[in-house]
């Protein structure tokens, strides 16, 4: 399985000399997942049930295979089928998760015996969020995403994910940051306040997403989704990553059986649990 994630807060720390941004976030892996079917073959092939998902050399699974094949002179191909459940461009890390899953499976199938540090190094070459998915669960993530520090964090809640069906370009959002649509770099470091968060009610006092203002300009539906989740009893609501998925954290005893009826039929609504 290739699990999704949400960002429990996202702080933009600074712009880097290489054009990227230093970030700080708490990543939480979810029960929502894509299913990847991977087996050895004579040649490499990639297929999916999702029409909008590229299966060429731009796909991160293809890039993971090519990277490891070049680095370790792998002989033989791979047959991959991605049963996609995580929406494309949703801010839930589906592509990065797929890449990490492929990297781990290739390591096993071809008996590369890669150490964890080596897997993390390779993952960072594939994308900013990929290293987190090598470890999964819950982690403080810093830098471009290459610094992944496992942490113990809240688990006693359920999650409602609402995707309005509009894929958001991460590059577009960060370009907007560059032209000053929002200020970033302020706020208390998440690393300094993690130990103070003991319940869902504490989250809004310490965590925030610096990208939310910019993303809301591109996707105005976000504010309406947040309001509906709060009205349904969510204890904490936020945008995940660069969006456009908005999530609400609910008490375990909250009945969510009718939650999908609160949103337009065109929206994708998922109920998930933290892993």
129 catalytic per annotation = yes
5 catalytic per annotation = yes
Please name the residues in contact with 125: beta carbons below 8 A apart, sequence gap of 6 or more.
67
Q: How many residues are present in the chain? A: 275
How far apart, in Å, are the Cα atoms of 99 and each of 90, 105, 148, 266? 16, 10, 16, 28
Pair of tokens at residue 152 = 């113990």
Alpha helices in 90-143 (DSSP H): 94-109, 116-126, 130-135
Spatial contact of 160 and 268, defined as CB atoms under 8 Å apart:
no
- Among 34, 84, 129, 210, the one annotated catalytic: 129
CA separation for the pair 120, 193 (Å, rounded): 26
252 by Cβ neighbours in 10 Å (0-12 / 13-18 / 19+) ranks as: exposed
Of 73, 76, 70, 3, nearest to 43 by C-alpha is 76
Known catalytic residues are 5, 129
């Amino acid at each position: 399985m290739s699990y999704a994630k949400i960002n429990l807060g996202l702080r933009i720390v600074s712009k880097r000399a290489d054009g990227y941004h230093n970030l700080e976030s708490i990543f939480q892996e979810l029960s929502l997942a894509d299913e990847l079917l991977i087996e050895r073959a004579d040649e490499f092939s990639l297929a999916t049930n999702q029409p909008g998902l590229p299966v060429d050399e731009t796909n991160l699974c293809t890039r993971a295979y090519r990277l490891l094949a070049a680095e370790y002179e792998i002989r033989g191909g791979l047959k991959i089928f991605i049963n996609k459940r995580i929406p494309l461009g949703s801010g839930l890390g589906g592509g990065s998760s797929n890449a990490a899953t492929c990297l781990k499976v290739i390591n096993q199938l071809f008996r590369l015996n890669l150490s964890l540090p080596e897997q993390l190094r390779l993952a960072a070459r594939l994308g900013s969020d990929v290293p987190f998915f090598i470890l999964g669960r819950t982690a403080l993530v810093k830098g471009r995403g290459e610094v992944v520090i496992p942490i113990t964090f809240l688990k006693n809640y359920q999650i409602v994910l609402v995707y309005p069906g509009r894929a958001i370009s991460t590059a577009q959002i960060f370009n907007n940051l560059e032209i000053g649509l929002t200020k970033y770099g302020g706020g208390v470091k998440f690393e300094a306040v993690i130990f103070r968060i003991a319940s869902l009610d504490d989250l809004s006092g310490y965590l925030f997403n610096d990208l939310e203002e910019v993303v809301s300009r591109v996707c105005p539906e976000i504010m309406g989704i947040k309001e509906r989740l709060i009205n349904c009893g969510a204890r904490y609501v936020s945008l995940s990553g660069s969006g456009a998925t908005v999530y609400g954290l609910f008490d375990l005893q909250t009945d969510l059986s009718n939650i999908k009826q609160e949103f337009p039929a065109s929206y994708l609504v998922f109920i998930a649990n933290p892993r």
